[in-house]
Structure 1
Amino acid sequence: MRQKLISTVAAEILAREARRVAIDGVDGAGKTHFADELAAELTGRGVPVIRASVDGFHQPRVFRHRRGPDSPEGFFRYSFDYPRLIGLLLDPLGPRGTGRFVRAVYDVHNEKPVDHVPERAEPGAILVLDGIFAHRIELAGHWDYSVWLEVPFAVSIPRGAARGSGDPDPDAASNRRYVEGQRLYLAECDPRTKATTVIDNTDLENPRRLR
């Protein structure tokens, strides 16, 4: 069932001649795996794919934590460098873009900038980008096709913890920054209504299309 859904989404992207595709959802929703599977499906259909992540456009820690390391609002408002994401990746791959793009500018795991030598997109290439907050006001108008992966915190937080990231309890103090920051995003930006399609990804083996 999962592969059938991935195949359906790929077919819709190609039918729309979409060039910039976003996979959005809360932390632990399964964005990276979904994007990787979608990219593989498109590649298998003979389409060149550019895989990227919002994570490659993190702000340095000193900026991300300007409201404190535990601030939900700081997490939502200051995690990413949206002007550079738009200017270096989304606009160059847009309808009037140069095709010369940068995939990432910052390594958040090592807290240091990365060398970002511009790449040249192949003709007909499709950007498949995963990441949180992809339907913020700054970004929503840049997608030709987008997916919102619907997963409750009761599932997403333990799923993320199982990968070695944090406490599995959604109500744990250490998760407040992320859970409440995501709730701010849901309230302000309503990604469920902005996305092209909404998929319940709670059961990884059997995702269900909601819209």
Structure 2
Amino acid sequence: MPAGLDGYPDPIVTPEREVVLAHVVGRIEECAAARVVVGIDGASGAGKSTFADEVAARLRQRGHVVVRSTTDSFHRPRVERMRRGPTSPVGYYLDSHDLGAIQEELLTPFATGRTSVRIAAFDEPSDAPVEVTVDDVAERAVLVFDGLFLLRPELASRWRLVVHLTADRRRAAAWDAYLHDGLPADQTAREHERAQRLERARWPRYQDGWRLYVDEASPLERAEIVVDNDDLAAPRVVRSA
């Protein structure tokens, strides 16, 4: 199974989370179209894939035909992603994903009623192309697509509904733990290990690359639904327009 489509085996189930998921499902069901394209947007670590899987499962429980996909299954080859350098924020924003394949092989065929669509074109861990298709899409169906940068100019008009997830406190806590937990007692060794962790994480690439997207696309203002997903057991709808 390509990266991004392998799912999360043990999602959190709480009444508070069910309320948020039910709200999103209800908004999707209000869309008056045979084919509905839904984007689940947010920064790395916000919980997009799990949230999208949960929405898809509840739609299926209600009798809808659902197609699932993600930007993680449409990466560009590593040499293209890193052509501006491994720490480049611009490279992270502009070069990570094959936008042409996402549009031409999934979004356009799905929206125009085709029965066959490609849901994965590349497996990032193996750095190799893949061919994963759904060949029996019903006339009425919902595409639930999660990923980074979904409201960028190239993709913004493609979605019938966008849910933007935030998780700033949880992501900051995870970063702090990565940077500081388990450091050596010796000061020199601590500084060396911290520097190594920073280099491995390529933090400026991801932090500043995400900021480029936020500055250009204003996802908090443009998404139809904004969900605070900091507390996975008790997310909340911040805005629903």
TM-score normalised by the chain length of structure 1: 0.90
In the aligned structure 2, how far is the partner of 1:38 from the partner of 1:130? 11
Task: Give, in angstroms, the shift of residue 15 of structure 1.
Answer: 1.1
Could you tell me how far 1:56 is from its partner in structure 2?
0.8
Which residue does 2:107 correspond to in 1? 90
Matched AA of 2:121: V
In the alignment, structure 1 residue 37 sits paired with structure 2 residue 54: yes
What is the match of residue 215 of structure 2? 187
Which residue pairs with 2:155 in the alignment?
Answer: 139
Is structure 2 residue 129 aligned with structure 1 residue 113?
A: yes
TM-aligned CA deviation for residue 69 of structure 1:
1.0
Q: Which amino acid aligns with 1:101?
A: V
Contact 1:200–1:207 under 8 Å retained in 2: yes
Helix, strand or coil for the counterpart of 1:24?
A: strand
Greater C-alpha Rg: 2
Distance (Å, rounded) in 1 between the aligned partners of 2:235 and 2:20: 8
* Cα root mean square deviation, aligned: 2.0
Identify the residue that residue 4 of structure 1 maps to in structure 2. 19
Q: Distance in 2 between matches of 1:130 and 1:168?
A: 28
Q: Counterpart amino acid of 2:106?
A: L
The question of whether the paired residues in 1 share the 8 Å contact of 2:89 and 2:204 is answered with yes
Name the residue aligned to 2:171.
156
Q: SS at 1:58's partner residue?
A: coil
Helix, strand or coil at the partner of 1:122: coil
Contact map agreement 1:27 1:160 (CA 8 A) in 2: no
- Contact 1:140 1:194 (C-alpha < 8 Å) held by counterparts: no
Q: Which runs of 5+ in 2 are unaligned?
A: 1-15, 181-196
Structure 2 counterpart of 1:189, one-letter code: A
After superposition, the Cα gap between the structure-2 partners of 1:47 and 1:159, relative to the gap in structure 1 and judged at 3 Å, is: farther
Change (3 A) 1:168 1:8: farther
Partner of 1:178: 206
Q: What does 1:12-91 align with in structure 2 at a 5 Å threshold?
A: 12-17=27-32, 19-91=36-108
Give the secondary-structure state (helix, strand or coil) at the position aligned to 1:193.
Answer: helix
* Shift in Å, 1:147: 0.3
Over 4 Å off, 4+ runs = 157-162
Say which is worse superposed, 173-182 or 21-30, in terms of deviation: 173-182
Deviation at 1:208, TM superposition (A): 1.3
Task: Give the AA of the match of 2:52.
Answer: A
Identity %: 38
Q: Secondary structure at the match of 2:119?
A: coil
